[in-house]
Each structure stands twice: as structure tokens, then as C-alpha cells.
Structure 1
């Protein structure tokens, strides 16, 4: 990690192609994640997710990609499919995106020091206290 990423955190920007003819289902997937937003709280602590965002991008040649930006604790866990929302999330992922991710290399992150300290604490412990 670049030195600008607080110790104990991992910054990732990943991309994956959306399976051809699955754009509507991708949009449905994102609607489910937005509509069920309060359910994400149950998974955040285990995953040590500090920040997560997903973007959709269409290349000039028409190919559709999803980009995923994430800041998490270095030892955070993945999806917990015993949680209903995580199970739905994983199922959409298997149907809608091509397997695997292309990883971009982090080079710099900027955040106010007091917020960086809070993020690093969450990333280490999964708690605010």
C-alpha cells in the first residue's frame, strides 16, 4: 500500500466485465443493494469495510464494466453468505459479472488525519469504540 493509506488498511479499485445481455440484471442487483441498505450494517464489522462504492462504465466499443472501490481493514473477511443480503449479493455476482477481477494498483489516498485515524481503527477492530 502507498504510505498515504493509513496503516492496517487496504485500498482497492477493481473492475470486471458485465456478462453480455446482463445489464438489466446488473441494474437490478444495484437496486437490491440500495433498497436493502440498512442490512449492510450486519456485514460491515466482519468485513472491516470502511468505504465501498460500485460504478458502471460502458467502453467506446460497447463493452460494459463494473468498477468496485473499497477501503477495508487488511484482515477483513469477505461476504458472509449466511446473511440474506450477502447471499443475494453473491448470487447476483455469479450471474452478472464475469469471474474474477482486474486489480488496479493504488498510488495515493487523501483524507483528513482525524478521519484517517477513525478509518484505521474501524479497519483494525470493526468497531467505533
Structure 2
């Protein structure tokens, strides 16, 4: 795979799509995990600041008899990871270990399309503290 950064993704911004397979027979655990995240959404959102996470979305897909979880993240470089001293992060990791197979399959981003008001908000949140917000990142010419 080509690892060159697409021109549409500004420097300092990380755009990820990750997939994990739910362990065979662990569909009820996946249900519990997603229910926990939804029930504790305020705790989850409170962690996004230290992670420099502008957008985090979880999808679930059942395909060919397998169950998959997909994580979509748009964040700034240098954000913190999970903090196991926080109950929500600790519970999140414990549930992940019970639910999904180890590791992630990572997709390679190709293009990021954001209307200007959304782009400005995402960059202001994810890249705060940077010396300047990058230009549109589009090729000139």
C-alpha cells in the first residue's frame, strides 16, 4: 500500500478506520460493550479532550457469518491514549479483551472531505496549540 499522505488530510491530523473481528460466540459481549459506551457517553466524551479526538464513531457489521466492529477516528497527533486509572477507560479495555480478537486491521485513508465550518471546528479541536492551522491541503495549480 502507498503510505503517502493524501493532500486532503492536513499535517498533524490523523484519520483512521480500524476493524476488529468479534470473537466467535461473543456477540452478546459486543452488545454489552456498545451498550456500556452508549450508557456512559458523558464519560466517553470527557476522554476525547486529552486524546485530541475530534470525531470517534463505532460501527458494527455482520458479514459472512462474522461480526466486526469498525472504529472511525479523526484526531490530532500527540493525543494521549487510554488512561487505565479512569474507570471508563479501564472498563473499555476489559470489555474489548472479552469481545474482540486481538489487534486491528487498518484501512489506508484516501481523501478527507469536510465543509469549511466542520473542517475549521475539527482542526481547531484536534490541532489546538499548533503554531498555525494548515491550509486546505489541496494541490495548487
| TM-score, scaled relative to structure 1 | 0.90
Q: What is the 5 A alignment of 1:7-86?
A: 7-60=11-64, 62-86=65-89
Q: Counterpart in 1 of 2:111?
A: 108
Give the distance between the partners of 2:62 and 2:45, measured in 1 at CA. 30
Name the CA shift for 1:6/1:115 in 2 (closer, same or farther; >3 Å): farther
Instruction: Answer whether contact 1:17 1:97 (CA < 8 A) is retained.
Output: yes
What is the total number of aligned residue pairs between the two structures?
125
Give the distance between the partners of 1:67 and 1:13, measured in 2 at CA. 7
Which aligned runs of 4 or more in structure 1 are off by greater than 2 angstroms? none
Give the distance between the partners of 1:103 and 1:24, measured in 2 at CA. 25
Q: Which has the larger radius of gyration?
A: 2
Q: 2:123 aligned to 112, 120, 123, which one?
A: 120
How big is the shift at 1:68? 0.8
Give the distance between the partners of 2:11 and 2:50, measured in 1 at CA. 18
Instruction: Answer whether contact 1:47 1:78 (CA < 8 A) is retained.
Output: yes
Deviations 1:78-116 (A, max 9, x none): 111111111110111111111110000000111112321
